[in-house]
Amino acid sequence: MEDAHHGPSNLVLLGPPGAGKGTVAELLVTRLDVPHISSGDMFRAAIRAGTGLGREVAATIKRGELVSDQVTVAVIRERLAAKDAAGGYLLDGFPRTIAQAEALQALSKVSAVINLDVSDDLAVLRISGRRVCTADREIYHLANRPPHVAGVCDRCGGPLIQRDDDRPAAVRHRLQVYHRLTTPLVEFYARRALLLGVDGSLPAIQVRDQILAHLPTRGARPLAAGA
Ligand code: AMP
């Protein structure tokens, strides 16, 4: 959303796999007029559609490794050029390396970076219980947010699956990759006074509300009573 005093809300969500980035992003964009741009969702959509990009990245993602900076930046550059991102965006899962963060600085003026802080133990717990609808991509959790009927999406009736990269071996690898390549971004953005740290172990609604209360923008719509 464009704001006369602060400019567009160009937001980045940082945090390890299992921090709740996807869930919190969905909750945030219902309050902020910006598109939720998830590099992981874009790659998975390309894999499902069987595009050249999908074939290029499928094996890497399945192993829990990072897609190359070159390919990832090209995908995000194109997405940020779309009309709906002109007034702001919420990036989820990008950037993940210093090179990607530098590329983003050259593309756009980031207004805030939200770091969802969670321990590795909690991240593993959350990821191992995560299930995703194959049809509408809704996210469930076997313990924290079970579907009404086991294995079936409440919203659309589609089948729920575990992502390949949510299996234990890939998860451990993703966390190692995160600590090696992505945690330096916390320092990168802190130095630029853009970082907002939030306790990602809290329930997603509370995380959302803390973020909305601290964003350096007036783009948030007022909270509806009871929401
Ligand atoms: P996510 O849904 O964000 O956990 O992303 C799933 C997978 O997609 C990651 O484990 C990576 O293999 C790949 N991926 C997503 N975003 C990026 C990125 N910014 N850079 C490199 N690889 C990425």
**Mean pLDDT of all residues in 198-206:** 95
When pLDDT is cut at 50, 70 and 90, the band that residue 169 belongs to is confident
Confirm if 175 and 124 have CB atoms less than 8 A apart: yes
Q: Can you name the residues that pair with 37 across neighbouring β-strands?
A: 91
Distance between CA atoms of residues 129 and 144, nearest Å: 8
pLDDT tier, 157 (very low <50, low <70, confident <90, very high otherwise): very high
Nearest CA to ligand 1 atom 2: 40
Has residue 196 got a pLDDT over 70?
yes
Query: Is 96 an annotated catalytic residue?
Result: yes
State how far the Cα of 19 lies from the Cα of 14, in Å rounded to an integer: 9
Residue 146: cis peptide before it, omega within 30 degrees of 0:
no
Active site annotation includes 221:
no
Atom number, ligand 1, closest to the C-alpha of residue 21: 3
Does the pTM of the predicted model rise above 0.85? yes
pLDDT of residue 217: 56
**Residue range 61-107, pLDDT digits in tens:** 998 899 999 999 999 999 999 999 999 999 999 999 999 999 999 99
CB crowding 155-194: b at 16 or more within 10 Å, else e: eeebebeebebbeeebbeebbebbeebbeebbebbeeeeb
CA atoms of 109 and 9, how far apart (whole Å): 9
Number of H helices, E strands in the chain: 9, 8
Q: Average pLDDT in the 158-168 region?
A: 92
Q: Best of 23, 56, 61 to mutate for ligand 1, by most ligand atoms within 8 A of CB?
A: 61
What are the tens digits of pLDDT across the range 17-29?
999 999 999 999 9
Q: How much of the chain, in percent, has pLDDT values that exceed 90?
A: 80
Task: Quote the CA–CA distance of 132 and 140 in Å, as a whole number.
Answer: 6
Residues framing ligand 1 (Cβ under 6 A): 17, 39-40, 43, 60-61, 64-67, 72, 93-96, 100, 165, 174
